[in-house]
Structure 1
Amino acid sequence: MAIELIAAKRELEGTGASRRLRRAGQTPAVVYGAGKEAVSITLDHNTIYYALKNEAFHKETIELVIDGQKELVKVADFQLHPYKQLVLHLDFARA
C-alpha cells in the first residue's frame, strides 16, 4: 500500500503563523534527517487527521510530495489537541 501526501513549503514560522494555518484548515509539519536541512511544510488537516487513524500510516514509508519534489519519509511524531479533533503538528523523518 503506497501512501502519498501532497505538501507545500511554508516560509512563515512561529506560533502566530501556525495558528493562522490551523484556522485555514492546514496542519504545520517539519521534515528532517538524512544529513539534510529541516524543511517546514504544511499539509491539509483532514487528509492527515484521517490518515493518522490508519495503522499503516504509522508504520510504512510515506511518499511526501513537497512542491513537486518527492521524498520518502516516516512519521516520527505527531501532536493532537487534548480534547478537540485537531492535529496540531507532525514530524517526519526522512527514510
Structure 2
Amino acid sequence: MKKTQPSITEDQARTYAAWFKALSDPTRIRLLHLLAAEARPMSVGELVERVPIGQSTVSHHLRTLADVRFVLPEKQGTSTRYAVNRTCLTVFPEAVRAILGEEDGRAR
C-alpha cells in the first residue's frame, strides 16, 4: 500500500481548526449573521441592543471572530465598529473541500 503525503499543510490545518473553533459557538454564529444582514460596520453597543447578551460577552465573541479575521474591527475615535469579512467567509467552503480531499467538488 502506497503512503501519500497529506495535501493539507500543518499551517493550513491550524488555520482551519481555528476557523471551526471560532464558529463552534452559537452566539458567534448569530453575531456573524447579524453583521452580514446589516451589511455595515456595527458597534458593540448596537449589537448588544439586538441580542440578549451583555456587552462584555459580545466583545469577547467579537475578539474571537476578529482573531481569525471573520470580522474586521474598524477604530472610529474611541469606539470600534465591526464588519463581516466576506472574503474570509467565502474562502471557508474551500477549506471544507480541502479537508474532504475534494478538488472542484470532486473526490480525489
TM-score under structure 1 length normalisation: 0.32
Question: Higher Cα Rg: structure 1 or 2?
Answer: 2
Greater relative contact order (CA < 8 Å, ≥ 6 in sequence): 1
Q: Would you tell me which structure has more strand in proportion to its own residues?
A: 1
Structure with greater proportional helix content: 2
